[in-house]
A = this chain, B = another copy of it.
Amino acid sequence: MTSTPAPAPVPAAGPGTGPVTGDALLALAADPASDLVGLLAALCDAESVSGGETALADAIEAVLRAQPHLAVHRDGDCVVARTDLGRSRRVVLAGHIDTVPLADPPNLPTRLVGEGPDAELWGRGTVDMKGGVAVMLALAVELGAPGREPASDLTWVFYDHEEVEAERNGLGRLSRNAPELLHGDLAILGEPTAAGIEGGCNGTMRARVTTRGVAAHSARAWTGVNAIHAAAPVLQRLADYVPREVEVDGLVYRESLNAVLVDGGVAANVIPDRCTVTVNYRFAPSLTVAQAEAHVREVLDGFDVEITDAAGGARPGLDDPLALEFAGAVLAVTGGRPKPKYGWTDVARFAELGIPAVNFGPGDPLLAHKDDERVPVGQLALCRDALRAWLLGPVGPAA
């Protein structure tokens, strides 16, 4: 059921699986002193696997529209809410509201396990990334209200379809439909980082390496040429490959080059005339896609290599003064030092728009998508407090 010992069942912390209303969410989000556990449980129990985000997006939209300090825009199941305080700088805070499918048996409704500072909330979405969404939603309600004005203007983005094919990504759609809504001086993506800052992300490239032979009946194997045997040196080169570690803006990115799929042969009595090895290269954000392709072709020189898809990485953005300031605030509150993010995240979309972007949110990123996904509840308030302290601070003078 889970990959760690299953905790004993305890009553669900949230209101139970099912649709959540804007009123219910608002009641949970509106208390600045809350520990956010109830809010997170409500967000998770409102199951929203990619493609099924509408009910949750509706509830979030209702919460945001109830705030006089926010102007709300809806694009599909993406909800954008912006302050307009005339500040000299604008910070974009974004998080996706969809999740990967539930585990089998279902890891919802959420369960609160343990007590006090060691308590953990278990269930789908607690890490990736409704923990970050809970922090964002509470601060969207709080900051901008009378007496709680932030030092920067704020843009909150709650978006859909992050866990599926890139072309369906709600943030990508918004950047095509209404790019002006994403403008800002720094973007913070609420992906899980265990309450530290993870900067940038590796790029990713997939290539297909094909070996060819001549088909023949295996009873007369010598009349054919075996394409699977011809793939042996491809696999050996990948097995021998020593991945690089590349420092970018002070963070060390670890690369990797792996065969992820292999497929060859047509029948158990036919000498195979074709074998395909699918390779995934994760490359440091200092490399362009063209440089990454050149490297793959160099490693696999002599073989038929076809690049099938690629997405450049994002530099950590920690050379940006605003990002450095945020990093300092996080260090002060959570003790988390900036680290590289290895997985590709939507910070790369902001990088493409020329906006420095970092990841910052509660939860261990290694637990994302796992059956035993769970978040230490203490990280929820910690992340909120760090963000709040920095956003309320004297970032820049009013315009």
Contacts and interface: CB of A to CB of B under 8 A. Distances in A.
A263 B204 CA distance: 23
Interface residues of A, number: 49
Interface stretch (A119-127, A172-180, A222-230, A324-332): A222-230
A249 B196 CA distance: 77
A272 B254 contact: no
Interface string A233-256: 101101100010000000000101
A96 interface: no
B260 A262 contact: no
A267 B278 CA distance: 10
Contact of A268 (B206, B236, B256, B344): B206
Contact of A269 (B228, B270, B280): B280
A395 interface: no
Contact of A260 (B206, B230, B254, B271): B271
A68 interface: no
A69 interface: no
B232 A219 contact: no
Contacts of A277: 228
A258 interface: yes
B260 A220 contact: no
Contact of A229 (B219, B239, B268, B369): B239
B256 A221 contact: yes
A231 interface: yes
B260 A275 contact: no
Contacts of A261: 228, 264-268, 272
A390 interface: no
A321 interface: no
Sorted from nearest, which 3 A-B pairs have the closest CB atoms? A221-B256, A232-B235, A261-B265
Interface of A: 202, 204, 206, 217-223, 226, 228-233, 235-236, 238-239, 243, 254, 256, 258-272, 275, 277-278, 280, 282, 342-344, 366, 369
15 contacts: A204-B219, A220-B342, A221-B243, A223-B366, A228-B258, A228-B259, A228-B260, A228-B261, A228-B262, A233-B236, A260-B269, A260-B270, A262-B263, A262-B275, A263-B264
